[in-house]
Structure 1
Amino acid sequence: MSTPARPQVSQQTTPAPPPSVAPSFVAERPQPPRKWWIAPLVGVLVALPVQLVAAFLLLVSPMALDSCSAANPCGRTEAAIGTTLILLLLAVLSLGVPWYPAKRKGLGVGIGMSLLPLGLTLASIGTLLFGIGFG
């Protein structure tokens, strides 16, 4: 008994494309700019002392309410103290905001975002002083 003949299949392989032509499935991460951390660090180091001054002013500001009575209401001062507290909390929370854009985007964005905590802190001081009556 003879076995049936198998058809011959050619074993031709296609050559692999060179690495420069092959599709890349791993996304290349762009390198962060050199010394990206300087702008956020300077922003934090400048904003922290100003925030301490703002916190001190906020703590002593209730003394401005000592002269308030039914005949002399101090509604504007109370509103200014509440607004200052909210702005100061936002300023403290925004200390971490500049780090991500500075690393991912670039130096200009990092510098701009580093001014955010300082701007909020100065706005809180201005609101407090205006509400108390120094402005």
Structure 2
Amino acid sequence: MSTPARPQVSTQPSTPPSPYATASLPAEPAKPRGKWWIAPLTGALVALPLQLVAAFLLLMSPMALDSCTAANPCGRTEAAIGATAVLLLLALLSLGVPWYLAKRKSVGAGIGVSLIPLSLTLASIGTLLLGIGLG
């Protein structure tokens, strides 16, 4: 006659399962698309020369303020020069954004984001030209 098997009793205290232990491991990161760099490079090659033009115009724009006197204030021109400086700084800072996003997102996102520095640069030129009265 066989004796019934007794259940094994552990002498160690039981610990609750960790919430991190049940999570699955993350999948391997997706490999970047081929030729992801074309859109950011094209955007940078178009935007950089325009940014140089905008910087040149910004440096020359104080001459537009030579005719400003107490009787003829040029507040609009001063505001345009300040806005152009801010827009041009944003355009320079935004040159790195397309490189980061184009590598990780879709082709459309890469092309769309690559237009941000160009549009900020064109906006800075337009703001400056309107402010000094050439637009």
Q: By the TM > 0.5 criterion, same fold?
A: yes
Equivalent residue number for residue 108 of structure 1: 108
Equivalent residue number for residue 97 of structure 1: 97
Equivalent residue number for residue 17 of structure 1: none
Structure 1 residue ranges, 4+ long, deviating more than 2 angstroms after superposition: 23-26
Q: TM-score, normalization: structure 2?
A: 0.81
Q: What is the number of equivalent residue pairs in this alignment? A: 117
Please state if 1:28 is matched with 2:28.
yes
Q: In structure 1, how many angstroms separate the alpha carbons of the residues matched to 2:129 and 2:31? A: 45
**Aligned ranges 1:1-135 → 2 under 5 Å:** 25-135=25-135
Q: Which string of whole-angstrom CA distances, capped at 9 and with x for unpartnered residues, describes residues 64-103 of structure 1? A: 0000001100000000000000000000000001011101
Letter of the structure 2 residue corresponding to residue 79 of structure 1: A
- Cα distance, 1:26 vs. partner? 4.1
Which consecutive residues of structure 2, in runs of 5 or more, have no partner in the other structure? 6-22
From the CA coordinates, give the structure whose radius of gyration is larger.
1
- Cα distance, 1:34 vs. partner? 1.1
Q: In structure 2, how many angstroms separate the alpha carbons of the residues matched to 1:89 and 1:24? A: 44
- Cα distance, 1:31 vs. partner? 1.8
| RMSD, aligned CA | 1.9
Equivalent residue number for residue 15 of structure 2: none
| Identity of matched residues, % | 76
- Cα distance, 1:61 vs. partner? 0.2
